[in-house]
Amino acid sequence: MAAAVQGSRGGEVGIRVGATNLGRLRAAAAAARQQGKHAARGGGGTGVTSWHLRVFAAVVGVMGCVLLAASLAMSALHQVQFRNAAISRNFRGLQELKQNIVRKEQAEQIMHGRLLQMATSAVTKNVSESQDFTLWEEPYKQARKWTPCAAKHSLADEEPDEINNGFIVISANGGLNQQRVAVCNAVVVAALLNATLVLPRFLYSSVWKDTSQFGDIYQEDYFVNYMKNDVRIVKELPPHLQSLDLEAIGSQVTDKDISKEAEPSEFVKSVLPILQQNGVVHFLGFGNRLGFDSIPVHLQRLRCRCNFHALKFVPELQKAGSLLVQRLRKVSAMQTEMDKQLFGNNMLDPSFAENHAAGGPNRYLALHMRFEEDMVAYSLCEFGGGEEERRELQAYRETHFPTLAMRLRNATVSPEDQRSLGRCPLTPEESGLILSALGYDRGTFIYVAGSQIYGGGPRLRPLTRLYPNLVTKEDILSADELAPFKNFSSRLAALDFIACASADVFAVTDSGSQLSSLVSGFRIYHGRGRAPTLHPNRKRYAQVLSEEGSIAWGGFQKRVRQMVEEYKRVSPRPRGRSVYRQPRTPGCMCRAGGDGSVDF
| CA-CA-CA-CA torsion sign (335, 339, 343, 349) | negative
Which pLDDT does position 339 carry in this prediction? 82
Distance separating alpha carbons of residues 588 and 177, to the nearest angstrom:
19
User: Residue 76 pLDDT more than 90?
Assistant: no
Question: For residue 555, is pLDDT > 60?
Answer: yes
The pLDDT assigned to 362 comes to 81
Taking CA atoms, 503 is separated from 25, 336, 513, 515, 584, in Å, by: 81, 11, 18, 14, 21
The answer to whether the beta carbons of residues 14 and 79 sit under 8 Å apart is: yes
- 90-94, 261-265, 318-322: lowest mean pLDDT where? 90-94
Q: Which residues of 138-255 form beta strands (DSSP E)?
A: 146-148, 167-172, 196-198, 201-202, 233-234, 252-254
Does the pLDDT value for residue 2 go beyond 80? Answer: no
- 67 contact partners, CB below 8 Å, separation of at least 6: 21, 25
> Residue 72 above 60 pLDDT?
no
pLDDT in tens, 339-354: 888 888 877 555 554 4
Comparing 35-44, 303-312, 394-403, which segment has the lowest mean pLDDT?
Answer: 35-44
pLDDT above 70 for 4 = no
More confident residue, 273 or 595: 273
For residues 515 and 521, give the distance between their C-alpha atoms in angstroms, rounded to a whole number.
Answer: 10
| pLDDT > 70? residue 359 | no
Residue 481 burial (C-beta neighbours within 10 Å; 0-12, 13-18, 19+):
middle
Q: Which of 119-128, 274-283, 522-531 has the lowest mean pLDDT?
A: 119-128
Assign 31 to helix, strand or coil: helix
Distances (CA, A) of 62 to 36, 54, 56, 442: 18, 12, 10, 76
Average pLDDT for residues 42-61, to the nearest whole number? 56
Q: What is the mean pLDDT of residues 555-581?
A: 89
pLDDT of residue 337: 81
Model confidence at 274, pLDDT cuts 50, 70, 90, reads very high
Distances (CA, A) of 380 to 7, 397, 405, 422: 55, 10, 10, 12
Quote the CA–CA distance of 236 and 217 in Å, as a whole number: 17
Residue 135 — pLDDT band, cuts 50, 70, 90?
A: confident
**Nearest-angstrom CA–CA distance, 484 and 210:** 13
Q: Is the pLDDT of residue 378 over 60?
A: yes
Whole-number Å distance between alpha carbons of 389 and 379: 13
**467 CA to centre of own chain:** 19
Q: What pLDDT does residue 142 have?
A: 78
**Residue 549: pLDDT above 50?**
yes
Q: Which residue has the higher pLDDT, 337 or 543?
A: 543
Domain ranges of the chain: 110-123+131-147+314-371+425-569, 167-310, 373-423
pTM reported for the whole predicted model: 0.78
In this predicted structure, what is the pLDDT of residue 440?
Answer: 93
Q: Which residues contact 136 (CB under 8 A, 6 or more apart)?
A: 363, 504, 505, 532
Instruction: Determine how many CB atoms are found less than 10 A away from the CB of residue 536.
Output: 25
Q: Specify the pLDDT at position 333.
A: 53
- CB 408, CB 432: distance < 8 Å: no
pLDDT digits (tens, 9 = 90+) for 456-514: 889 999 999 999 999 999 999 999 999 999 989 999 999 999 999 999 999 998 777 88
Nearest to 304 by CA among 138, 514, 500, 518: 518
Q: Which residues contact 265 (CB under 8 A, 6 or more apart)?
A: 294
pLDDT attached to residue 180: 95
Contact 510, 375 (CB under 8 A): yes
Mean pLDDT across 537-549: 93
3-state SS record for 420-484: HCCCCCCCHHHHHHHHHHHCCCCCCCEEEECCCCCCHHHHHHHHHHHCCCEECHHHHCCHHHHHH
Model confidence band, residue 106 (pLDDT cutoffs 50, 70, 90): very low
Q: What share of the chain is helix, strand, coil (3-state, %, to 5)?
A: 55, 10, 35
Torsion of CA 212, 216, 219, 225, to 10 degrees: 60
Question: What is the percent of the chain with per-residue pLDDT over 70, rounded to a whole number?
Answer: 74
Q: From residue 170, how far is each of 167, 245, 272, 337, 587 by CA, in Å?
A: 10, 15, 15, 32, 24
